[in-house]
């Protein structure tokens, strides 16, 4: 199964892109656990809360991966001929690189669990969402200023350049982003 991770600073269209891609490929997408956690527990988080969020993200990713596998098996069993749904990728909104940068950006430190997971977990493609979309305020977002958003974007870009998994910079309007993402994903199928 191809695992595609969508990363980038806050308010760069990651969740929207995940949802659009999952719809396009008739697949599922794993949401960002941090949103659920912060909505439930508040935005006054600690360094240890980020470890809890990282663990929750891993658990959620595993849950959705199993759901994708199970849905593919049922599609294959229901058909005598191969079906393209069993080849569709699994989309993941956020991974441990995001958790690492969040820890380091806010607390100038990172949990070893997160670093270990970066090494352990394997993905097939990263889609890095650029900051060229307008920032949209919501109760969880922290960095409306372009300076911090750009700083975070370049941190993620540096990570992408220095790791071995293929990646694509996703920019432009929502439609252009989706087209670029589909082209990148198709290149991995």
Q: For residues 79 and 85, what is the distance between their CA atoms, to the nearest angstrom? A: 11
- The pLDDT of 2-24, averaged and rounded, is 96
High-pLDDT (> 90) share of the chain, %: 81
Would the pLDDT of 119 be above 80?
A: yes
Angle between helices 47-77 and 33-41 (to 10 degrees): 130
Between the two ends of the chain, the Cα-to-Cα distance in Å is: 10
Q: Is the Cβ–Cβ distance between 164 and 157 less than 8 Å?
A: no
Give pLDDT tens digits for 120-174.
Answer: 999 999 999 999 998 888 888 888 888 999 999 999 999 999 999 999 999 999 9
Give pLDDT tens digits for 57-115.
Answer: 999 999 999 998 888 776 555 444 444 444 779 999 999 999 999 999 999 999 999 99
Q: What is the pLDDT of residue 132?
A: 95
Q: What is the pLDDT of residue 146?
A: 87
Measured CA to CA in angstroms, residue 91 lies from 98, 124, 126, 176 at distances of 15, 10, 10, 18
Q: For residues 95 and 165, what is the distance between their CA atoms, to the nearest angstrom? A: 13
Q: For residues 189 and 171, what is the distance between their CA atoms, to the nearest angstrom? A: 22
Q: For residues 147 and 155, what is the distance between their CA atoms, to the nearest angstrom? A: 12
Domains of the chain, first to last: 3-186 (3.40.50.300)
Q: What is the pLDDT of residue 60?
A: 97
Q: For residues 95 and 127, what is the distance between their CA atoms, to the nearest angstrom? A: 12
């Amino acid at each position: 199964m191809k695992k595609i991770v969508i990363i980038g600073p806050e308010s760069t269209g990651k969740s929207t892109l995940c949802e659009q891609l999952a719809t396009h490929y008739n697949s599922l997408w794993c949401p960002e656990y941090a949103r659920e956690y912060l909505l439930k527990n508040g935005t006054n988080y600690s360094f240890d809360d980020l470890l809890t969020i990282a663990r929750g993200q891993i658990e959620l990713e595993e849950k959705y991966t199993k759901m994708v596998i199970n849905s593919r098996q049922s599609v294959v069993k229901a058909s005598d001929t191969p079906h393209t749904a069993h080849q569709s990728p699994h989309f993941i909104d956020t991974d441990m690189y995001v958790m690492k940068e969040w820890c380091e950006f806010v607390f100038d430190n990172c949990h070893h669990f997160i670093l270990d997971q970066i090494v352990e977990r394997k993905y097939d493609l990263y889609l890095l969402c650029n900051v060229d979309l307008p920032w949209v305020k919501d109760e969880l977002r922290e960095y409306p200023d372009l300076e911090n958003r750009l700083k975070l974007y370049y941190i993620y870009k540096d990570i992408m350049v220095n790791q071995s998994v293929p990646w694509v910079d996703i920019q432009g309007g929502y439609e252009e982003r989706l087209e670029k993402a589909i082209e990148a994903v198709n290149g991995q199928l």
